[in-house]
Amino acid sequence: MDFSFSEQHLAVRDTVKRLCQTEHQQLVTAAEENEALPREVFARWGELGLLGVRYPEKDGGSGLDKISDCIVREELSYMSQGFASSWSAHSHLGIWPIWKAGTDEQRQRFFVPALQGKKIAGFALSEPDGGSNIRALKTRAERTAGGWKLNGSKLYITNAPIADFLLVAARTAPELRGEAISLFIVELPAKGMEIHKLKKEGIRASETGLIHIEDVFVPDDCVLGERLGTYPVILDSLSENRVGVAANALGMARAAFDAAVAYSQDRLVAGKRIGDYQAIGHKLAQMSADIEAARWLVYYGAWRVDQGTLDSATAARVKLIASETALAASEQAIRIHGGAGIMREYPVGRIHRDALVYVIGEGTSEIQKNIIARDLGFKS
């Protein structure tokens, strides 16, 4: 088996690395402190084709694959998870369902300009009472003349404060059945939709919102696919995105490890580099092994997406291992830095805050374990 990346994949990695080093890195500190992502980065991503790497050329994308998508995520996350989180919420969760199930008119109206970075997208699923548990969804859609009226609330929605449109999940019937949950495209600003920007400890450079929805009108042509029952599309989107956010976690783990190695080479104690002490050397060795294992699991998951064989349990395994690796690696990086690890001049404190997001977001580690246990034949 050939485990090497193609020339095309290497070119994508080089492009994103150069973009981060020459253009984005200088924006990170201000974006973190202001808790605001510059809108112009979306246009730049669109110009370089980075928002559509996994979408076919015939649909306006770059015609590459999920492996390329994960490379973009990994390199953006290596620099700043805030940037990568906004990219992910836009390029996958916000538009993948439109590409997969939208009408031709919806693709032209929303998907294509989003690929170009001319419109910013978000995905409004999680709620105050039920998190990302779709079965607990309370936001409802009721039939009215010419469309639907939405009522409810959404919480922790990435890109909501800056989005031009949101995909909103709502229940059209009280019963728990596939056709009872659908996606609605809401253009912003929308009468009756109030978006409150939240202040966060992690991924501060991305913007996250609490949304109150009161009698928000959605015309029939903005019901995704102009049909009800797009619940399966939500499930498929979340499964694939778990592989994606695992690549985000991999980027953070690498960044924490590289910072720890650099510090271990520079910091001297009793005339020796601290990395030469076994206690530190063993920490770095374990981090290296764990990150390498996570790396190949992530790209195995991406390969499964490209082969059309990804299942929910595989996606859960990929996300579980990568997110926990990022959390553990960033904690060890802080320990290796000692007191310096909580100083802002070093990146490891920020990385650890950001890594905490992905053992919670996109389904907690416990949810991933439930999915895996069910795949093994156990009730969980």
Predicted local distance difference test score (pLDDT) of residue 129: 86
- Please give the C-alpha separations between residue 49 and each of 11, 90, 163, 253, in angstroms, as whole numbers: 13, 14, 19, 26
297 pLDDT exceeds 80?
A: yes
Going by C-beta distance under 8 Å and a sequence separation of 6 or more, which residues neighbour residue 155? 126, 127, 128, 210, 211
CA geometry: angle 55, 155, 42, nearest 5 deg: 35
Q: By percentage, how much of the chain surpasses pLDDT 70?
A: 98
Dihedral, CA of residue 71, residue 73, residue 74 and residue 76, to nearest 10: 120
101 pLDDT exceeds 80?
A: yes
What is the helix (H) or strand (E) element at residue 112, kind and residue range?
Answer: helix 112-115
Predicted local distance difference test score (pLDDT) of residue 132: 62
Residues 204-219 have a mean pLDDT of: 97
84 pLDDT exceeds 90?
A: yes
Predicted local distance difference test score (pLDDT) of residue 62: 95
Predicted local distance difference test score (pLDDT) of residue 131: 66
Residues 146-151 have a mean pLDDT of: 98
Strands 268-269 and 272-273: antiparallel
Predicted local distance difference test score (pLDDT) of residue 337: 98
* CA-based nearest residue to 54, from 38, 36, 37, 67: 67
As a whole number, the mean pLDDT across the chain is: 95
**pLDDT tens digits, 165-202:** 999 999 998 877 767 999 999 999 999 999 999 999 99
What domains appear along the chain, each with residue ranges and CATH number? 7-115 (1.10.540.10), 121-229 (2.40.110.10), 232-375 (1.20.140.10)
13 pLDDT exceeds 70?
A: yes
Instruction: Please give the sequence-ordered ranges of beta strands (E in DSSP) within 57-163, or none if there are none.
Output: 121-124, 140-144, 147-158
d(CA 123, CA 167): 5
Residues 334-359 have a mean pLDDT of: 96
The residue among 130 and 250 whose pLDDT is bigger is: 250
**DSSP letters along 21-62, please?**
IIIIHHHHHHHHHHT---THHHHHHHHTTGGGTTS-GGGTS-
Q: Helix, strand, or coil here: 16?
A: helix
Q: By percentage, how much of the chain surpasses pLDDT 90?
A: 92
What is the helix (H) or strand (E) element at residue 114, kind and residue range?
Answer: helix 112-115
CB of 249 closer than 8 Å to CB of 88:
no
263 pLDDT exceeds 70?
A: yes
Number of H-type helices and E-type strands within the chain: 13, 9
Confidence of residue 45 (pLDDT cuts 50, 70, 90): very high
pTM, two decimal places: 0.95
Residues labelled catalytic = 362
95 pLDDT exceeds 70?
A: yes
133 pLDDT exceeds 80?
A: no
